[in-house]
A and B are shown apart, each in its own frame.
Chain A
């Protein structure tokens, strides 16, 4: 799998991972803005809560795909390195919380009141995962 990732990225696995993770983080910030419109906390004249919620869902689906790809690349190329414990823990926790959030959205709809907390937890964990890997890489660059 690691060889496949290296071949697909032409030997730039780290750079591709950093770009994808940064795209996910940028979209996550947009997600916060969209859901504040969706929940009616912010009421812009040009965007309804319904449209904002629809885009939030669509953008969220895209983020999930990107994050799964990044996670697979990360584990296959780097594994669980001893010098990146915080990154590994934050990344694993992110995927678990994301899975719970998707489960609440699709099946456990009665637990819908926890969605804002789960969403904020996803954002916090994504930020921490990004800071402990891509952020450090970009700062060193």
Chain B
């Protein structure tokens, strides 16, 4: 028969198992949420806003170039 580990080792081992259970529970539950957290949605909104701003700036720049070209022709 195998010898039982020391009392201290048993305590450390059983507490470690508890910590692993906590970590696994957190990982499984957070994995099911997906990208729905407020922080992620906020960052998504921020990225969309920046993209829209860049697009508007590009359109304004193109418009300005078109006007300059038109003025140059006249």
Contact size range, A: 20 to 34
Contact status A30-B21, CB under 8 Å: yes
Contact status B22-A141, CB under 8 Å: no
CB < 8 Å A-B pair total: 74
Contact status B30-A19, CB under 8 Å: yes
Cβ contacts under 8 Å, A134 to chain B: 29
Contact with B along A44-56 (1 / 0, CB 8 A): 0111101110110
* A:5-33 near B, CB below 8 Å: 10-12, 15, 18-19, 22-23, 25-27, 29-30
Interface set of A (CB-CB < 8 Å, partner B): 10-12, 15, 18-19, 22-23, 25-27, 29-30, 34, 45-48, 50-52, 54-55, 58-59, 62, 134, 138, 141
